[in-house]
């Protein structure tokens, strides 16, 4: 019982302390220093962050080397049982929400333009400063569970394409869902976002739109495709 009470109190503290804050030196992003571009892809219930593989320092995110030939990596996070079940039933979803559970990271490597690989998804482009990008990468890397040897190894094949699941060291619960985790990634990069008030992927996308640019919605390109994305298409 004491364990339950401590957990509830901890969640209340986290919920009440979250705010829509930004890191002053990272946001707003200086156009001259906005050298890194990432993407947020809406998958319906959750969203994935897409990062150019060549931009990732191997020393900060060692597990990214598991996809050496990929142009891009998509990263998602969620409940271990629910995420790894192809057709999860209602009971698994309720368990994940009502009780703290183990979690996993889902990493996908691919070699297509983002809009081609996710042709039906809403996609938002976000520009980062170099410092903001590094902080984001550190946050993602810190989410992995490390074994005694300090290495995180795949625990199973992912849901689609060239993908793998990795055990995370974080706990999934009512106030730390997949969309909250993704919001915290942007918060770590210095962006003004309120993770505590995000439940659905739509709410996440809405907040990210305030500092990002929609490049595809409902499977239709908006015409606001950046130069970086146009360059990517040339290599298809």
pLDDT digits (tens, 9 = 90+) for 41-51: 999 989 999 99
pLDDT band at 143 (very low <50, low <70, confident <90, very high): very high
Does the pLDDT of residue 161 top 80, yes or no?
yes
Q: CA–CA separation, 141 vs 166, rounded Å?
A: 11
Q: Is residue 99 part of a domain?
A: yes
The structural domain count of the chain equals: 1
Q: Is residue 188 part of a domain?
A: yes
Q: CA–CA separation, 166 vs 158, rounded Å?
A: 9
DSSP 94: H
Report DSSP letters for 150-166, one per residue: S---EEEE-SSSEEEEE
Q: Is residue 164 part of a domain?
A: yes
The torsion region of residue 212 among left (phi > 0), alpha (psi -120 to 50) and beta comes to beta
Which structure tokens are listed for 106?
Answer: 């889902």
Q: What is the pLDDT of residue 222?
A: 81
* Burial of 153: CB neighbours in 10 Å, binned 0-12, 13-18, 19+: middle
pLDDT band at 232 (very low <50, low <70, confident <90, very high): very low
Does the pLDDT of residue 103 top 80, yes or no?
yes
Q: What is the mean pLDDT of residues 87-94?
A: 62
The domain of 157 spans: 25-231
Q: Is residue 19 part of a domain?
A: no
CA angle 167, 36, 177 (to 5 degrees): 35
Does the pLDDT of residue 219 top 50, yes or no?
yes
Q: Is residue 175 part of a domain?
A: yes
Does the pLDDT of residue 148 top 80, yes or no?
yes
Residue 196's DSSP bridge partners are none
Q: Is residue 8 part of a domain?
A: no
Q: CA–CA separation, 171 vs 7, rounded Å?
A: 11
Q: Is residue 5 part of a domain?
A: no
Q: What is the pLDDT of residue 41?
A: 98
Q: What is the mean pLDDT of the chain?
A: 84
Q: Is residue 149 part of a domain?
A: yes
Query: pTM of the prediction?
Result: 0.83
H/E stretch holding 91:
helix 90-98
């Amino acid at each position: 019982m004491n364990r339950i009470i401590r957990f509830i109190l901890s969640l209340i503290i986290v919920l009440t302390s979250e705010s829509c804050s930004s890191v002053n030196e990272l946001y707003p992003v200086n156009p001259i220093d906005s050298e890194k571009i990432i993407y947020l892809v809406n998958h319906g219930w959750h969203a994935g962050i897409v990062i150019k593989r060549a931009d990732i320092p191997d020393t900060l995110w060692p597990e990214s080397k598991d996809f050496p030939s990929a142009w891009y990596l998509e990263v998602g996070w969620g409940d271990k049982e629910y995420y790894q079940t192809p057709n999860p039933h209602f009971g698994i979803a309720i368990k994940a929400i009502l009780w703290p559970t183990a979690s996993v990271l889902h990493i996908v490597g691919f070699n297509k333009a983002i809009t081609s690989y996710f042709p039906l998804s809403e996609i938002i482009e976000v520009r980062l400063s170099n410092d903001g990008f590094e902080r984001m990468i550190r946050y993602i890397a810190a989410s992995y569970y490390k074994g005694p040897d300090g290495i995180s190894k795949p625990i199973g094949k992912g849901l689609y394409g060239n993908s793998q699941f990795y055990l995370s060291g974080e706990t999934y619960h009512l106030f730390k869902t997949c969309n909250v985790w993704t919001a915290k990634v942007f918060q770590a990069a210095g962006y003004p976002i309120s993770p505590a008030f995000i439940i659905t992927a739509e709410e996440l996308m809405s907040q990210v739109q305030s500092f990002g640019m929609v490049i595809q919605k409902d499977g239709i390109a908006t015409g606001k495709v950046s130069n970086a994305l146009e360059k990517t298409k040339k290599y298809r």
